[in-house]
């Protein structure tokens, strides 16, 4: 069963509308997910004097704190996974549509891949539209191209070493955020 172009266009527009609405709330949601872990027990024993300790010398309630799973850990994992899957699906859709929009097909009826001005950066995987300053040069987005220039000026090494280092640096920055 093949759906009509209007149904596909409606799905894409609805997805864009959802992502636009999601973007406005993403920062608050991320902050709340990161802070969802219950606080460390700081029982003071009622009068505010010395902290109440159990027989092991730990604050009362520490076992409960350490034994309780983080209520947001699974949602954080899903948020990251679903955003990655969404990005991959969008890249696949983009490739499919641009390939067939740019070609009429070959003898066997299958469209050939063409070199389009946009694409994904080989270092950070960011999508570049190929228009204006947002274009790939030697497979690198503007930010990675600048980082590559700085790296070459300071170090000796080949591009593969830099790409591995760049991906590790970007991964550490994402983990810290």
Q: What is the 3-state secondary structure of the chain?
A: CCCCHHHHHHHHHHHHHHHHHHHHHHHHHHHHHHCCCCCCCCCCCCCCCCCCECCCCCECCHHHHHHCCCCCHHHHHHHHHHHHHHHHHHHHHHHHHHHHHHCCCCCCCCCCCCCCCCEECCCCCCEECCECCECCECCECHHHHHHHHHHHHHCCCCHHHHHHHHHHHHHHHHHHC
CA distance 105 to 99: 9
For helices 142-154 and 159-176, angle between their N-to-C axes, nearest 10 degrees: 120
Could you read off the pLDDT of 88-126 as tens digits, one per residue?
888 888 878 877 776 655 666 665 655 556 778 888 888
CA distance 144 to 139: 9
Match 């539209």 to its residue by tokens. 129
For helices 5-34 and 73-102, angle between their N-to-C axes, nearest 10 degrees: 150
- Which range, of 42-46, 47-51, 74-78, 146-150, averages the lowest pLDDT? 42-46
Predicted local confidence at residue 115, as pLDDT: 55
Could you read off the pLDDT of 1-17 as tens digits, one per residue?
678 889 899 999 999 99
Nearest to 163 by CA among 177, 148, 175: 148
User: Which of the four pLDDT bands, split at 50, 70 and 90, describes residue 37?
Assistant: low
Predicted local confidence at residue 116, as pLDDT: 57
pLDDT, the chain, mean: 77
How many other β-carbons are positioned within 10 Å of the β-carbon of residue 8? 13
Q: What percent of the chain has pLDDT over 90?
A: 7
pLDDT of residue 162 exceeding 70: yes
């Amino acid at each position: 069963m093949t759906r009509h172009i209007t149904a596909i266009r409606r799905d894409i527009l609805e997805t864009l509308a959802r992502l636009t609405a999601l973007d406005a709330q993403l920062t608050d949601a991320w902050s709340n997910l990161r802070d969802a872990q219950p606080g460390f027990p700081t029982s003071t024993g009622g009068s505010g004097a010395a902290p109440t300790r159990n027989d092991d010398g730990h604050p009362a309630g520490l076992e409960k704190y350490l034994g309780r799973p983080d209520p947001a850990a699974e949602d954080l994992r899903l948020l990251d996974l679903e955003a990655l899957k969404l990005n991959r699906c969008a890249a696949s859709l983009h490739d499919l549509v641009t390939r067939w929009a740019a070609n009429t097909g070959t003898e066997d009826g299958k469209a050939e891949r063409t070199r389009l001005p946009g694409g994904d950066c080989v270092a950070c995987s960011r999508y570049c539209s190929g228009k204006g300053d947002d274009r790939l040069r030697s497979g690198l987005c503007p930010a990675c191209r600048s980082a590559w220039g700085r790296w070459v000026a300071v170090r000796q090494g080949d591009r593969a070493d830099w790409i591995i280092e760049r991906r590790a640096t970007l991964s550490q920055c994402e983990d810290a955020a």
